[in-house]
């Protein structure tokens, strides 16, 4: 996955950080060419700081999106599905199985329906479901923790970067 975030121009930054301000320019990244049509002109030094803040925000947003995508991919890798309804079914079946293992008379609508196709017993399915679910969750918690740590470190670094460092930034390495 390529990590690239285009540096916002001064015009881009004004449109985001000063809503309602209208300007034109022959060179959108050259302060001396900015023509302030509506709104109060912003001092160049202030606008350059705003541009850096804007760029950092864009990079941080990309890091957050990549972290989301990584969590999604790892969940799919471990659970074998991206389907939120399937994942919800796993969660419900786990609750059923856990309750059954504590109280053998607990209702088990999902597992009861499943065993009509598999020929298993409720007891054997309950043990299997709980052990697989616990193992999957333990694996996912480690993966999600690594992703969260990587995301937090990357965002902290970006908060200290200059424009040139942001332009050279290749993004976090997801482990």
Q: 29-69, pLDDT tens digit by residue?
A: 999 999 999 999 999 999 999 999 999 999 999 999 999 99
- pLDDT category at 175 given cuts 50, 70, 90 is confident
> Please, which contacts does 77-85 make with residues 24 or more away whose CB atoms are closer than 8 Å?
78/136, 78/139, 78/140, 78/143, 79/136, 79/140
* Every domain of the chain and the residues it spans: 10-168
Number of neighbouring beta carbons within 10 Å of residue 129: 22
Residues near 103 by beta carbon (within 8 Å), at least 6 away in sequence = none
């Amino acid at each position: 996955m390529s990590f690239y975030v285009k540096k916002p121009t001064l015009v881009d930054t004004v449109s985001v950080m000063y809503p309602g301000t209208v300007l034109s320019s022959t060179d959108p990244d050259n302060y001396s060419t900015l023509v302030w049509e509506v709104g109060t002109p912003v001092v160049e030094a202030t606008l350059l700081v705003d541009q850096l803040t804007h760029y950092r925000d864009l990079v941080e947003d990309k890091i957050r999106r990549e972290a989301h995508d990584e969590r999604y991919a790892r969940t799919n890798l471990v659970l074998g599905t991206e389907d939120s309804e399937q994942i919800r079914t796993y969660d419900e079946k786990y609750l059923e199985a856990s309750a059954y293992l504590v109280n053998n008379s607990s209702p088990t609508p999902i597992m009861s329906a499943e065993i009509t196709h598999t020929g298993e017993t409720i007891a054997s399915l309950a043990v299997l479901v709980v052990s697989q679910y616990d193992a999957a969750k333990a694996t996912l918690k480690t993966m999600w923790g690594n992703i969260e740590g990587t995301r937090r470190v990357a965002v902290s670094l970006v908060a200290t970067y200059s424009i040139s460092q942001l332009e050279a930034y290749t993004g976090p390495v997801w482990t």
